Amino acid sequence: MNTVIAFILMFGLLVFVHEFGHYYVAKKTGMLVREFAIGFGPKVFSTVKNETLYTIRLLPMGGYVRVAGEDPEIIDIKPGQHIGLTFNEAGEVDQIIVNNKAKHPDALVIEVERIDLDHDLIIEGYEIDEETKYSFRVHEKADFIMDEKATQIAPYNRQFASKTVGQRGLQLFAGPLMNFVLTVVIFLILANIQGVPVDDVRIGSVVDNSPAEEAGFEPDDTIIEIEGQSIGEWDEFQEIVQASPEESLEMTVLRDNQEIPLEVTPALVETPEQNIGQVGVTLALEKSFIRSIPYSLEETYRWSTLILTNLGKLVTGQFSIDMLSGPVGIYDATDQVVKTGFLNFLTWTAVLSVNLGIINLVPLPALDGGRLIFVGLEAIRRKPIDPQKEGVVHFIGFALLMLLMIIVTWNDIQRLFL
């Protein structure tokens, strides 16, 4: 049960932060945000506030922010169509009744001759069986009423396409950016809870029954020499130890201002890539808010680099698609991490957050990176790309991503039962 709660909270946080980035910039630049959704599929919860429908959906496979103009509008009224109109106190149309007009006896029913809800915000037409032509101003926040459900109209200045290249690019980039910000914040929290690594090679803890304990290492020992060579950084220490499995190493530690010689033989540890040595010590940590800030940025950069490296190996075929994990695999990994403690769970959340940010910037159709490519091409060409052609490309990309998700999920399920 703890894993279920942890997974829901983690998933909700990652998706919420990502989609909030898109949502915030869209709102600030005047776009009409029709929906802010966490998850896909059937609605579990929904509420409407300030023009936007907020939903939580059943399938934990992501989320989305639906901005007016990104997709074709659902309701399209043609000349000759009969519609009902209601008016506000200023005499402007505030409701356009598309069907079930009999349920709105106070509405004025007209036959449409011309309608422009993008720029002029005007409806021209005739009352039924009348020859007098009327022209009605439409309020910029008027609603379509279709099947007794209200959908706000989207004048062109509220649509995604009406904004500048910079505004659209920022709206698309803001989602991944927020994932990087979340990663930095989580590492900052972790650094202030457990501390940041010290600058020298000072031991924080010694694992029970490890080669280091058998050799006589103690917490707060500072390793200053290995095989007669001065050592000043933890990475140097790790590199030498990992390259020397089952080989005796002479080290000198500084303990209470005294130099003490110790001899240790790193244990052999087998990994998928190579065999390495380990002695069973951890680096000491110290609490410092000032140092925690660059540390959080460095950790975010380190994990970003690692993820990009692995992504490159996947593209070049060095990694198999079978190594990818979807929601099922992430849930299983979360189950293992939760058992090791809350701080490790926070680290896992930070890693997934930066991973989500990077994956969304991959220049593939339907992803933020793919859509940024189209915005960039428009900036270069100095004219917009045909929305229908772009829509087809993103649709195909989305279908392929869903296919990949199905394959990855199937592999995750198979691994669980092997």
What residue ranges define each of the domains in the chain, with the CATH number in brackets? 1-73+160-195+287-418 (no CATH), 82-153 (no CATH), 198-286 (2.30.42.10)
The mean of the pLDDT values for the chain is 89
Model confidence, pTM: 0.83
Determine the Cα–Cα distance for residues 127 and 405; give it in Å rounded to an integer. 53
For 16, what's the count of Cα atoms within 13 Å in the CB-facing half-sphere? 9
What pLDDT is recorded for position 184?
97
DSSP string, 367-401: SHHHHHHHHHHHHHHTSPPPHHHHHHHHHHHHHHH
Question: 83 forms bridges with which residues in the sheet?
Answer: 110
* pLDDT confidence tier of residue 416, bands split at 50, 70 and 90: low
- Two structure tokens written together for 389: 């052609």
What pLDDT is recorded for position 316?
75
What pLDDT is recorded for position 310?
82
What pLDDT is recorded for position 334?
84
Percent of the chain beyond pLDDT 90?
A: 62
How far is CA 137 from each of CA 86, 91, 108, 113, 125, rounded to the nearest angstrom?
11, 8, 14, 14, 12
Instruction: Choose, from 19, 247, 273, 390, the residue flagged as catalytic.
Output: 19
What pLDDT is recorded for position 272?
66
What pLDDT is recorded for position 205?
92
Kindly state the average pLDDT of the residues 113-138: 92
What pLDDT is recorded for position 182?
97
What pLDDT is recorded for position 418?
60
What pLDDT is recorded for position 330?
79
Tens digits of residue pLDDT in 69-99: 877 666 789 999 999 999 999 999 999 999 9
Tens digits of residue pLDDT in 261-291: 999 999 998 876 678 999 999 999 998 899 9
Q: Is the pLDDT of residue 208 over 60?
A: yes
For 182-237, where are the E strands, in sequence order?
Answer: 196-197, 203-206, 222-226, 229-230
Q: Is the pLDDT of residue 222 over 80?
A: yes
Determine the Cα–Cα distance for residues 91 and 113; give it in Å rounded to an integer. 20
Q: Is the pLDDT of residue 389 over 70?
A: yes
* pLDDT confidence tier of residue 258, bands split at 50, 70 and 90: very high
What pLDDT is recorded for position 323?
64
Q: Is the pLDDT of residue 17 over 80?
A: yes
Burial 35-65 (b: 16+ CB within 10 A, else e): ebbbbeeeeeeeeeeeebbbbebeebbbbbb
Question: 123 forms bridges with which residues in the sheet?
Answer: 115, 136
Annotation says 131 is catalytic:
no
Kindly state the average pLDDT of the residues 113-120: 94
